[in-house]
Amino acid sequence: MPVPKAPVHIDTTKASIARVYDAFLNGKDNYEIDREVFRRVKSVAPEAALLAYDNRAFLIRATRFIASQTNIAQYLDCGSGLPTAENTHQVAQRINPESKVVYVDNDPVVIAHGRALLEENDQTHFSAADIFEPEQVLQDEVVRKYIDFNEPLALFHMGTIHHYDGARSPQDIMQTYIDALPSGSYVGISHFYDPQTDEYSELARRMEDVFVHSPMGSGVFRTRAQIEGLFPGLEMVQPGVVECARWWPDGPELKPLDPVQYCIVGGIARKP
């Protein structure tokens, strides 16, 4: 099926969230303006790339958990970003080949790459809706066609909400999404985090200042209470909201975390 039409013009004078993440992950789908954001963040946090690496690794482990430990076989991945080596559909379909994934992203570069994803298999679909307008996403033609809201699903907002700076509260955005989910659904969120300790809070605020005043213009480091508030009425899967690197890692932690790694957290929760 064709990708929904969206603006094809790519503004290379303004950094794109998806392309900046790509730069953090040492990808090739970014421009000088995106790499400038990365350089600025590295100037205050030399290991800043770990924000993106930990976020991506958390997404992979979360998808693997849901695919292997629940009966869920449909995923709504909001703010999917640019394709990397391990995308949601690849992780899920390796465990359950029947898994359906709908990616949602309105970045023109991501939309272009979405066409390539569609050619990969017929269980993967793409919507160009605005992820910060849940009503738009939930009524989107592609979403309604391929996601069955009568059956439990996994909703992902990985590394997205911290880039929202509109008038509507992030909690209200997530509440609208969660209200639409059937019982037994799971929600996964990762988010820039202010640990509110002298050692790491200063680092979080320095990075936030750079992100917000960079050509990208967004990147809010919220507190634990604010981030936990993004899971209203849900039952948290243990260990709750923790550093992404510490959410069911693949092995024992032999190396101490870098300070940057204390500044991004994630969690998975179930709708009763």
Residue 6 lies in a domain: no
Residue 4 lies in a domain: no
The answer to whether the CB of 185 falls within 8 A of the CB of 156 is: no
pLDDT digits (tens, 9 = 90+) for 96-133: 999 999 999 988 888 877 767 666 788 999 999 999 99
How far is Cα of residue 157 from the mean position of the Cα atoms in its chain? 4
Residue 95 lies in a domain: yes
DSSP 3-state of 147: coil
pTM, entire model: 0.92
Q: Which helix (H) or strand (E) holds 78?
A: strand 74-78
Residue 21 lies in a domain: yes
3 pLDDT tier (thresholds 50, 70, 90): very low
pLDDT digits (tens, 9 = 90+) for 142-167: 999 999 999 999 999 999 999 998 99
Residue 44 lies in a domain: yes
The answer to whether the CB of 208 falls within 8 A of the CB of 220 is: yes
The answer to whether the CB of 75 falls within 8 A of the CB of 156 is: yes
Q: Which tokens in the block code for residue 204?
A: 């979080």
**What average pLDDT does the chain have?**
91
Instruction: Give the domain range for residue 130.
Output: 17-270
Over range 184-191, report the average pLDDT: 98
Report pLDDT for 110: 83
Residues in Cβ contact with 257 at an 8 Å cutoff, skipping those fewer than 6 apart: 243, 245, 246
5 pLDDT tier (thresholds 50, 70, 90): very low
pLDDT digits (tens, 9 = 90+) for 193-204: 999 987 899 999
Q: How far is CA 194 from CA 40, 111, 248, in A?
A: 19, 32, 21
Please tell me what DSSP assigns to residue 12: T
* CATH number, domain containing residue 144: 3.40.50.150
Over range 6-17, report the average pLDDT: 70
Cis peptide before 239 (omega within 30 of 0): yes
Name the amino acid, one letter, at 58.
Answer: F
Residue 161 lies in a domain: yes
Residue where the block lists tokens 């900046």: 20
Q: Is the pLDDT assigned to residue 267 strictly greater than 70? A: yes
Residue 91 lies in a domain: yes
Count of structural domains, the chain: 1
Residue 40 lies in a domain: yes
pLDDT digits (tens, 9 = 90+) for 79-92: 988 777 689 999 99
Report pLDDT for 119: 67
Give the residue, 2 or 257, on which the prediction is more confident. 257
